[in-house]
Chains A and B, each alone.
Chain A
Amino acid sequence: MLEVTTKQFKRCDLVKATGRVDSNTAPQLAEVFNAINDAGRFKLVFDMSEVEYISSAGLRVMINIQKTCKRWNRGEMVLAGVPERVYGALNLAGFVPLFSIYDDAVEAVGTF
């Protein structure tokens, strides 16, 4: 239902999710992000281009990770390739001002 892949770059980590992020799969996404944070890495690109669907469970994961990354100015999670419907959900939840959003992962990785 959800596949999460990661790629470590020199200046940031890229996390790509493919599929549905709902209450069933959100913990799986949180685990991946937490592992990166636990390794002391707080500059993240979340590639959402293959996310078909996200519920508030997924949005909660995103907000928690953003809080962790931004603490003490040590980093940030930026979003890339946000599909229109997913953007709609982010917008409805008032999340758009809380994240920098880039067209694609390459552009987002380049900002770090």
Chain B
Amino acid sequence: MDDSSSSSLTQTRIFSGQFDSLVEISEFVTRAAGDVGLSDESVYAVEMAVDEACTNIIEHAYGGEGRGDIECTCQINGNKLTVTLQDRGRSFDPSSVPEPDINAALEDRQEGGLGLYLMHRLMDEVHFEFTPDSGNVLTMVKRKETTS
């Protein structure tokens, strides 16, 4: 009985690009993460990564709240959760964001770049893509931990 490993389920929802959508977005992705059977720690990681990504979309791609939608797709494929976030804002180039120095002294800590840094640390895969037709498409993957 290994049906679950080959099953695939995709759900898409569209949220308004506003900070008060973050709770709903979080509920949507954590439900999917729970369905994959991710550990509590991994569910939290997905929640945080998606929150950071959506905040970046609102702040940087749209340049403020209420200027466009965020399309969120959760695809469950066996032991893998793929979250795709799509927006129609300005193109986002992740290489333009400097990586924060997380060992810097207090007075040297900079505000920028932390969200993107956390996304990479929290997820197994993070890919950004921009096309004029589709806008920004961010794909993030989290896999269920294997126990040895």
Q: In this complex, what residue of A is CB-closest to B18?
A: A24
User: Total contacts A to B, CB within 8 angstroms?
Assistant: 62
Q: In this complex, what residue of A is CB-closest to B112?
A: A60
Contacts of A11 in B (CB 8 A): none
- Any chain A CB within 8 A of the CB of B97? no
**CB proximity to A under 8 Å, residues B28-44:** 41, 44
Contacts of A85 in B (CB 8 A): 41, 44
Contacts of B106 in A (CB 8 A): 63, 66-67, 70, 98
Contacts of A88 in B (CB 8 A): 41, 44
Interface size on A, as a range, is 20 to 34
Query: Please, what's the 1-or-0 string for A68-90, where 1 marks a CB less than 8 Å from any CB in chain B?
Result: 00100000000000000100110
User: Could you tell me the dominant secondary structure of chain B's interface residues?
Assistant: helix
Q: Given A56-B55, A92-B122, list of 18 further CB < 8 A pairs?
A: A20-B23, A23-B22, A24-B19, A24-B22, A24-B23, A53-B47, A55-B51, A55-B115, A56-B118, A60-B111, A60-B114, A63-B111, A66-B106, A70-B106, A92-B118, A93-B117, A94-B102, A98-B106
| B121: contacting residue among A55, A70, A92, CB under 8 A | A92
- Any chain B CB within 8 A of the CB of A36? no
